[in-house]
Amino acid sequence: MNDSAPDSDNQRPADRPGAVTRVTSAMEDYLKAAYRLEQDGGAVTTLRLAEELGLSGPSVTNMVKRLDELKLVVHNRYHGIALTAAGKSVALEVIRHHRLLELYLSEALGFNLDQVHAEAERLEHHVSEELEARMEQVLGFPRFDPHGDPIPGRDGELPRIDDNALDSLAVGEAGRVSRVSDRDPERLRYLFGLGIKPGSHIRVIECMPFEGPVRVQIDDNEQLLPYSVAQLVRVETDGEPLPANPVGT
């Protein structure tokens, strides 16, 4: 992403509550990243934002100042960055476009699921309201993207998902894979190759200490997942943990 002076062709009216200017593609990228970091928890600092976007600290600081002036974020030196209602609305609209595009690319155009994220990143800033409405209608008014992430509604509301990260589950806990992160295509291909995708049933057999690997059961197969990979999978659990028995015993 380029955070230099934006091309006017990539600007759209900021007709959301509280917005006072035209929002550029670069601004949308910052607001979407800030929203994602807010959901991850912890203070949204300029350092975290720079790491998330792969940009230099001074570039991020300058943009955050602009967003603060435009009342899209509130920046407090000691408490980090917080989206305003207008900034959150912009972020959710971009996320809605992104996730609708992912589903459309997958279902209508036959893209592999490890390809759609990058394509949607390139297209999300250029979706008109008419195109958005037609994609949604063709797809049957979906609530989730192909990786299991909820698609914000036109009102900005998100479908609720009561799930937990796989690495946080106790031994014996089982459930349905609800979401798989699409941020890393190689890890996504790896997980899909193991049969770990939205809708799969998974059970934790063993959790190694000190952030060690997690042994899981998928159908009749056991797999050993690195801790960093298990963090990318979220699960809607069945209920109370069951005693973990090795496959085939």
Three-state SS for 124?
helix
Residue range 32-55, pLDDT digits in tens: 999 999 988 888 999 999 999 999
Confidence of residue 219 (pLDDT cuts 50, 70, 90): confident
Confidence of residue 15 (pLDDT cuts 50, 70, 90): very low
Q: Is residue 17's pLDDT more than 50?
A: no
Number of other residues whose CB lies within 10 A of the CB of residue 225: 22
Which structure tokens are listed for 142? Answer: 């979906």
> What is the pLDDT, as a whole number, of residue 130?
96
Q: Token match 């899981």: residue? A: 216
Domains of the chain, with CATH numbers?
Answer: 8-87 (1.10.10.10), 164-237 (2.30.30.90)
Confidence of residue 241 (pLDDT cuts 50, 70, 90): low
Average pLDDT of the residues in 103-115:
94
Q: Is residue 242's pLDDT more than 90?
A: no
Q: Tell me what percent of the residues of the chain surpass a pLDDT of 70.
A: 87
E strand segments, the chain: 12-13, 22-23, 73-76, 80-83, 164-165, 174-180, 201-207, 214-218, 221-225, 233-237
Number of other residues whose CB lies within 10 A of the CB of residue 134: 12
Angle at 182 between CA 236 and CA 51, to 5 degrees: 115
